[in-house]
């Protein structure tokens, strides 16, 4: 103990030792090398702690602060020993040097013990490679997070929705960019409190929204609802708002996360759709025409009252029926053909007139318009509009009947006009000439010089008078034919009529070696028998009379049904008539086409009058060489 006290009292006393220059054989170079080296080591050891302290002051949250200070103290103490070693060359304070070295030793071992204590933690730290891998993974995760945030931002913009978090403890909110866009906020504008958010609600609903948020906190449940918003630019919008409540450990609400989507257009479209549905329902229910929906099997799904009135059923009765059961059998095939085209996408709709049976069994005419409704590219049901056109059909039928009668009357009028014209021509040609001759002959009677000359003139007057009488009789016969409204139609057997004429013309047939054949597809027709007999008689007689020299006559008579008429043809191989020369004169009065043959030119004229008086028609064909073909349609 006395030695320690003596050591402390003489801590700075240097009298017990000479300066180091005088201990041993120091050369000048050796001594200064030692001194300079110690001073440089001391300078470095003092600089390193300064750098460490400067580093720690800049990195306030650096780990292992104590260890840094221990290292700084240890290095500073080591530097101090080197400084004292340099000083001892002039000032041999060996006691002070020993104290500094003791302090250095103590600090060194404290540092060692502290490092040993931290070794388990050091060993738990990752290697540089692992740290680099972790850093790379975190960078990748940060990049992916950034990408996800960008995708979320784009999704909010495209989907017109946004979100915000409400911290119920501070009453502050954090809004996403999508939410700011929904509220029409500028780039520098933002809302940070729930009061600012509630300010976007119209005054009449703001209190209600406040109550909704209070119930949300109270019930720990956020109810999805619509919100009417007035944005920062005074645009009225409708949001569909959903949310979730985040609670703490004690089940108290700490945060509310709210998402809002712009449903303005959706709500408008929904309102328009509802309005359209109401309009369609009114049009369907109160339409003056029948309307219905029909399933793919033909069952009535829904009908309006007008359709029920058309068919005489109630709505409940109609829904139990199939439209096929109500359709006239003759119209089913056409209707189903249209349905097939609808199902195969060949047409989009069709319209047709068809017949239906009413509840009382009567038949009505309906104008049907139908189309097919598709859902998910599959046929769903038919829509039909039905208009009762029964009265129109009756009017059309009546109109068509009157039109036919009018055409017939017009045809008859033209026929009579043509006859009058023909009669005028006959009178002008066949009566005026003889009448003039008679007047002249009478005038010449006074100038006759003898009886013989008068007798000759009277003979001519008699012949001319007989010609006039004959012409008048012919005209009288034609007029009687045309004026005969009581013509009796009977069932005439064409074969029997032909047999009668064959007996009549037997001598001429035998004399000319004529051949007469027939092919009656229609053997019995309804026609005045006397007229039919005249037709056969005139045409057979002409064929036998106007035959070719040295050639036996052949006559073929046939009948056939052509549409709604019976056509009778007479084909012969006689002289025929030149159509180019006599096309318009064949059926004229007293037209004679072959000289040297006995004939008055009256047969075909009367024949045409008789046929047309019965509503028929006669035509002819001939090349003037190979006979004639007469065709009669009755």
Predicted local confidence at residue 336, as pLDDT: 92
Predicted local confidence at residue 270, as pLDDT: 83
- pLDDT tens track for 145-159: 888 878 877 877 777
d(CA 245, CA 39): 70
For the beta carbon of residue 213, count every other beta carbon within 10 angstroms.
Answer: 18
Average pLDDT, whole number, for the chain?
A: 82
Once rounded to an integer, what is the mean pLDDT over residues 167-173?
86
d(CA 409, CA 489): 20
Predicted local confidence at residue 25, as pLDDT: 84
Long-range Cβ pairs for the range 32-39 (8 Å, 24+): 34/85, 34/86, 34/89, 35/86, 35/89, 38/82, 38/83, 38/85, 38/86, 39/82, 39/83, 39/86
Predicted local confidence at residue 351, as pLDDT: 94
Predicted local confidence at residue 393, as pLDDT: 85
Predicted local confidence at residue 450, as pLDDT: 67
The region of weakest confidence among 120-124, 208-212, 289-293, 544-548 is 120-124
Once rounded to an integer, what is the mean pLDDT over residues 596-604?
60
d(CA 571, CA 542): 11
Once rounded to an integer, what is the mean pLDDT over residues 588-617?
68
600 close to 590: Cβ distance less than 8 angstroms: yes
- pLDDT tens track for 472-518: 555 555 555 555 555 678 889 999 888 888 888 888 888 888 999 99
- pLDDT tens track for 223-234: 888 888 889 888
Chain centroid to Cα 410, Å, comes to 51
Stretch(es) of the chain classified as CATH 3.30.450.20: 160-269
DSSP state of 487: P
d(CA 579, CA 587): 12
The region of weakest confidence among 144-158, 383-397, 444-458, 485-499 is 444-458
Report the range out of 39-53, 155-169, 435-449 with the highest average pLDDT: 39-53
350 close to 342: Cβ distance less than 8 angstroms: yes
Parallel, antiparallel or unpaired: strands 236-247 and 225-230:
antiparallel
pLDDT of 61 > 80? The answer is no
Once rounded to an integer, what is the mean pLDDT over residues 106-127?
83
Chain centroid to Cα 623, Å, comes to 63
Stretch(es) of the chain classified as CATH 3.30.565.10: 484-633
pLDDT of 544 > 60? The answer is yes
- pLDDT tens track for 185-205: 887 888 888 888 888 889 888
Share of the chain above pLDDT 90, in %: 19
**pLDDT category, 359, cuts 50, 70, 90?**
very high
CA distances (Å), origin 41, targets 35, 37, 255:
10, 6, 61
Predicted local confidence at residue 421, as pLDDT: 56
Q: What is the fold of 484-633? A: Heat Shock Protein 90 (3.30.565)
Share of the chain above pLDDT 70, in %: 83
The region of weakest confidence among 41-45, 349-353, 445-449 is 445-449
pLDDT of 335 > 50? The answer is yes
Predicted local confidence at residue 458, as pLDDT: 65
Q: What is the number of residues in the chain?
A: 634
pLDDT of 426 > 70? The answer is no
d(CA 218, CA 376): 45
Q: What is the CATH number of domain 160-269?
A: 3.30.450.20
Predicted local confidence at residue 531, as pLDDT: 80
pLDDT of 535 > 80? The answer is yes
pLDDT of 389 > 50? The answer is yes
Predicted local confidence at residue 457, as pLDDT: 62
The region of weakest confidence among 114-123, 291-300, 435-444 is 435-444
pLDDT of 402 > 90? The answer is no
pLDDT of 369 > 90? The answer is yes
Distance between terminal CA atoms of the chain? 170
**pLDDT category, 429, cuts 50, 70, 90?**
very low
């Amino acid at each position: 103990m006395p030695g320690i006290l003596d050591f402390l009292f003489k801590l700075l006393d240097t009298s017990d030792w000479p300066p180091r220059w005088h201990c041993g054989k120091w050369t000048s170079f050796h001594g200064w090398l030692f001194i300079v080296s110690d001073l440089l080591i001391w300078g470095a050891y003092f600089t390193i702690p300064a750098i460490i302290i400067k580093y720690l002051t800049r990195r306030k949250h650096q780990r292992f602060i104590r260890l840094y200070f221990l290292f700084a103290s240890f290095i500073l103490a080591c530097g101090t020993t080197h400084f004292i070693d340099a000083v001892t060359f002039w000032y041999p304070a060996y006691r002070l040097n020993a104290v500094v070295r003791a302090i250095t030793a103590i600090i060194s071992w404290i540092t060692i013990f502290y490092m040993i204590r931290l070794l388990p933690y050091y060993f738990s730290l990752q290697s540089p490679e692992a740290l680099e891998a972790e850093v790379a993974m975190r960078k990748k995760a940060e990049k992916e997070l950034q990408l996800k945030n960008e995708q979320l931002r784009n999704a909010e913009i495209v989907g017109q929705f946004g979100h915000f978090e409400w911290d119920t403890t501070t009453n502050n909110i954090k809004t996403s960019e999508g939410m700011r866009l929904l509220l029409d906020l500028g780039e520098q504008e933002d809302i940070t409190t729930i009061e600012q958010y509630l300010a976007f609600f119209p005054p009449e609903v703001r209190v209600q929204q406040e109550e909704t948020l209070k119930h949300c906190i109270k019930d720990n449940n956020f109810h999805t609802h619509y919100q009417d918003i007035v944005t920062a630019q005074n645009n009225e919008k409708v949001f569909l708002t959903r949310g979730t409540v985040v609670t703490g450990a004690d089940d108290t609400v700490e945060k509310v996360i709210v998402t809002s989507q712009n449903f303005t257009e959706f709500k408008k479209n929904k309102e328009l759709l509802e309005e359209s549905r109401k309009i369609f329902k009114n049009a369907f229910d109160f339409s003056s025409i029948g309307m219905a929906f029909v399933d793919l099997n033909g069952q009535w799904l829904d009908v309006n009252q007008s359709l029920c009135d058309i068919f005489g059923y109630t709505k409940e009765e109609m829904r139990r029926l199939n439209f096929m059961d109500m359709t006239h059998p003759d119209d089913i095939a056409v209707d189903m053909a249209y349905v097939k085209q609808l199902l195969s996408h060949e047409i989009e709709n069709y319209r047709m007139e068809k017949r239906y049976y009413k509840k009382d069994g009567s038949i009505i005419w309906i104008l049907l318009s139908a189309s097919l409704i598709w859902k998910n590219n599959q046929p769903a049901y038919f829509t039909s509009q039905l208009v009762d056109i029964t009265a129109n059909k009756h009017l059309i039928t009546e109109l068509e009947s009157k039109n036919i009668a009018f055409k017939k009357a017009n045809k008859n009028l033209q026929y009579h006009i043509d006859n009058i014209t023909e009669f005028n021509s006959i009178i002008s040609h066949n009566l005026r000439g003889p009448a003039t001759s008679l007047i002249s002959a009478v005038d010449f009677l006074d100038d006759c010089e003898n009886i013989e000359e008068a007798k000759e003139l009277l003979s001519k007057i008699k012949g001319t008078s007989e010609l006039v009488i004959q012409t008048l009789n012919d005209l009288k016969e034609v007029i009687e034919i045309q004026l005969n409204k009581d013509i009796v139609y009977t069932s005439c057997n064409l074969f029997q009529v032909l047999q009668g004429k064959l007996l009549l013309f037997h001598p001429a047939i035998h004399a000319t070696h004529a051949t007469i054949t027939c092919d009656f597809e229609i053997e019995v027709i309804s026609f005045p028998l006397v007229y039919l007999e005249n037709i056969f008689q005139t045409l057979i007689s002409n064929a036998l009379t106007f035959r070719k020299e040295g050639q036996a006559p052949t006559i073929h008579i046939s009948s056939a049904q052509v549409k709604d008429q019976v056509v009778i043809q007479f084909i012969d191989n006689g002289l025929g008539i030149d159509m180019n020369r006599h096309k318009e004169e064949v059926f004229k009065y007293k037209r004679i086409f072959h000289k040297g043959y006995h004939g008055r030119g009256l047969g075909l004229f009367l024949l045409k009058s008789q046929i047309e008086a019965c509503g028929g028609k006669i035509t002819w064909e001939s090349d003037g060489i190979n006979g004639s073909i007469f065709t009669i349609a009755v």
